[in-house]
Amino acid sequence: MATTLGFDVYGTLIDTQGVISTLESMIGDKASSFSQTWREKQLEYSFRRGLMQNYANFGVCTSQSLEYTCQHYAVSLTDTQKSELLASYSTLPAFDDVQGALGKLREAGFRLHAFSNGSEAAVETLLNNAGIRDYFDGVVSCDDLRSFKPNPAVYAYFLRKTKATNDSAWLISSNPFDVIGARSAGMYAAWVQRSQAAVFDPWGIEPTVRISSLVELQGELVAAR
């Protein structure tokens, strides 16, 4: 059976720091820390909503975390500016290594799926705008289960939706919470260490492989067979 790869989207395929240039035009030198707080709070909201079983989709987590971040930094953005920032979340760029690596993986016979907290519609739009949608056989969204990563149910859902099995499927993610969630659910998982400063949580649940670029992925997958 061909190996199925589930690619996390935000932070793995797509650079969420891509909003910084828009932010700089609005708030100047606070942009980088603002963007990081926004991303961290967006994820925190998904974890809290999952645990509370009070679901709202990832787009709501993104907009409410933007509101929090504005208040946290005492930055007053107009509704138009907030709408522009949220719209920029659907036009974020793919990382430089994505196109080349995905093309080679498809040629080598791997089945590629995007696998994200984001709603199917939001991810479809984002991947199309980033010019990488055609590399994927499909999009698997946690929104279908009204839950978020790292709920083990979402990894099981990924396998069902892609008709894969634990021994023929990998999660590919730059987010340690996602990698640990997939490994804890019994999947193979590759951690894409997008920054030298990134720390993998010291839980004793390790990625199957660590890579610093998607270019290394195919070699690691073949070696892991």
- By CB under 6 A, the residues from 144 to 163 that bind ligand 2OP are 149
Among this protein's residues, is 8 annotated catalytic?
yes
CB-CB neighbours of 86 under 10 Å: 14
Note the maximum CA span of the chain: 54
CB of 145 to ligand 2OP, least distance (A): 13
Q: Which of 210, 152, 213 is nearest to 185 (CA)?
A: 152
Give the contact letters, 70-109, x = binds to ligand 2OP (CB under 6 A), - = no.
----------------------------------------
In a 13 Å sphere around the CA of 185, the CA atoms on its Cβ side amount to 24
* DSSP strand pairing (209-211 vs 188-192): parallel
Judged by CB under 6 A, which stretch of 63-71, 112-120, 197-205, 211-219 contacts ligand 2OP? 112-120
Q: Which stretch binds ligand 2OP (CB under 6 A): 2-10, 26-34, 62-70, 189-197?
A: 2-10
The residue (of 10 and 110) whose beta carbon lies closer to ligand 2OP is 10
What lies within 8 Å, CB to CB, of 125 at 6+ separation is 90
Cα–Cα distance for residue pair 163/220, rounded to 1 Å: 23
Residue ranges in 26-65 that form contacts with ligand 2OP under rule CB under 6 A:
none
Q: Are 214 and 95 in contact, with CB atoms under 8 Å apart?
A: yes
Residue 11 engages ligand 2OP in binding (rule: CB under 6 A): yes
Cβ contact 103:136 at 8 Å = no
* Nearest-approach distance from CB 149 to ligand 2OP, in angstroms: 6
Site stretch for ligand 2OP (CB under 6 A), options 4-12, 21-29, 62-70, 92-100: 4-12
Give the contacts of 43 (CB within 8 A, at least 6 positions apart). Answer: 61, 175, 177
Say how far apart CA 184 and CA 51 lie, in whole Å: 17
Q: Which residues pair with 139 in a beta bridge?
A: 114
> How many Cβ atoms sit within 10 Å of the Cβ of residue 29?
8
Residue 117 beta carbon to ligand 2OP: minimum distance, rounded to whole angstroms = 4
| 8: contact with ligand 2OP by CB under 6 A | yes
Position 13, amino acid:
L
How many residues sit in the footprint of ligand 2OP (CB under 6 A)? 9
Smallest gap from Cβ 116 to ligand 2OP, in A, equals 4
Which listed residue (118, 176, 181, 207) binds ligand 2OP by CB under 6 A? 118
Among 3, 35, 62, 117, binds ligand 2OP (CB under 6 A): 117
Binding site for ligand 2OP (CB under 6 A): 8-11, 116-118, 149, 175
Query: Would you name the residues annotated as active-site residues?
Result: 8
